[in-house]
């Protein structure tokens, strides 16, 4: 697919993520998808802006809300849908489901439903990259809820102490499930990170994939050259409920006005010309991916204990 400029390429990649997740929403009531789903609708700009400047050999570790990073890093869409269906042709042979996608051939090293569990994995990969003198940048993606956990603090301390080539990317949507950040943290995230001696960047425009790209590409270049850790906090907003495909604005913990404010700056809504241009192309690929998943075989009894250590 050829694009006239960077904006169009980022737009296409972000729209592809949204349309994939809208298809997941449409499929979910059929029970064909064999696992819970944590959707990234509203947060696509973070993934495409961050992954664009990375090389396939750069490694990224994500969270269970990871469809966007899987696709933005170059994961195979057919294998993703097959994984959601629990089919043996899935990226994890049908054993991981939505929350545990992986595509190591393009540097998407894994995702996990356990909060913070991939952060020390990323730090370990960064330590290996340093000791083996590899030209790699490692990226650890997590939400603001992960900052509440002890292993997060241990990991950034270790990365700073050992001067590791890692980028910590905090997707701050202000919520840990239903708990607001004001109810959970007595500190400011970036101020606290600086206490560990790590350089920081703040990007409040998580709805703008160009601004995310500009901020992140500079960080990638810096870490690749200087081999030191960096932390970026990007404000964002999830449009749907924490887990599932519905809405939760009547539950009392956030207001629909917040959604309206983010949508008013959402290029995937505002730029109708490009939406109309790219939607048919993307939907065709999604149809092919869903058909692939539908026709793929289920794992057999012989697969039950394979890949188990």
Q: What is the pLDDT of residue 34?
A: 82
Paired residues of 63 in beta bridges: 112
- The C-alpha atoms of residue 227 and residue 221 are separated, in whole angstroms, by 10
Model pLDDT for residues 190-220, shown as the tens digit of each residue:
999 999 999 999 999 999 999 999 999 999 9
Nearest Cα to Cα of residue 157 among 183, 187, 194: 194
Cα–Cα nearest to 138, from 160, 158, 121, 161: 121
Residue 19 or residue 303, greater confidence: 19
Burial of 39 (0-12, 13-18, 19+ CB in 10 A): buried
Instruction: Output the pLDDT for position 151.
Output: 97
pLDDT tens-digit profile of 53-86?
999 999 999 999 999 999 999 999 999 999 999 9
pLDDT of 293 reads: 98
| Contact (Cβ atoms closer than 8 angstroms) between residue 223 and residue 230 | yes
Q: What is the mean pLDDT of residues 149-168?
A: 98
Query: Which CATH number does 6-296 carry?
Result: 3.40.50.970
CA–CA gap between residue 146 and residue 126 (Å, rounded): 19
Phi, psi angles (nearest 5°) of residue 63: -105, 180
How high is the mean pLDDT of the chain? Answer: 96
Res 302: pLDDT = 86
pLDDT digits (tens, 9 = 90+) for 229-249: 999 999 999 999 999 999 999
Compute the average pLDDT of residues 9-25.
98
pLDDT at res. 306: 85
- What's residue 303's pLDDT? 85
pLDDT at 304: 80
Q: Tell me, what's the pLDDT at 307?
A: 81
């Amino acid at each position: 697919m050829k694009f006239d400029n960077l904006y169009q390429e980022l737009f296409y990649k972000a729209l592809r993520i949204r349309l994939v997740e809208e298809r997941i929403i449409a499929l979910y009531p059929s029970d064909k998808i064999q696992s819970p789903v944590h959707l990234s609708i509203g947060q696509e700009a973070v993934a495409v802006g961050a992954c664009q400047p990375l090389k396939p050999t750069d490694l990224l570790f994500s969270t269970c809300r990871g469809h966007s990073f899987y696709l933005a890093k170059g994961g195979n869409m057919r294998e993703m849908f097959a994984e959601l269906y629990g089919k043996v042709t899935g990226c994890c042979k049908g054993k991981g489901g939505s929350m545990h996608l992986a595509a190591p051939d393009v540097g998407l090293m894994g995702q996990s439903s356990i909060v913070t569990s991939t952060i020390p994995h990323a730090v370990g990969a960064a330590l290996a990259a340093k000791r083996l003198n590899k030209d790699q940048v490692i990226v650890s993606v997590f939400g603001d809820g992960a900052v509440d956990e002890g292993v997060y603090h241990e990991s950034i301390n270790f990365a700073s102490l050992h001067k590791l080539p890692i980028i910590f990317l905090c997707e701050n949507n202000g919520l840990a499930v239903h708990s607001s950040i004001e109810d959970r943290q007595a500190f400011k995230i970036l101020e606290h990170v600086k206490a560990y001696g790590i350089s920081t960047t703040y990007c409040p425009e998580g709805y703008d994939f160009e601004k995310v790209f500009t901020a992140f590409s500079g960080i990638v270049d810096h870490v690749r050259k200087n081999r030191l850790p960096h932390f970026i906090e990007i404000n964002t907003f999830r449009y749907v409920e924490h887990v599932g495909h519905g809405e939760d604005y009547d539950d009392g913990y956030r207001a629909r006005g917040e959604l309206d404010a983010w949508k008013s700056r959402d290029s995937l809504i505002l730029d109708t010309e490009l939406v109309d241009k790219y939607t048919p192309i993307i939907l065709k690929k999604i149809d092919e991916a869903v058909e692939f998943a539908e026709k793929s075989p289920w794992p057999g009894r012989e697969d039950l204990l394979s890949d188990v250590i």
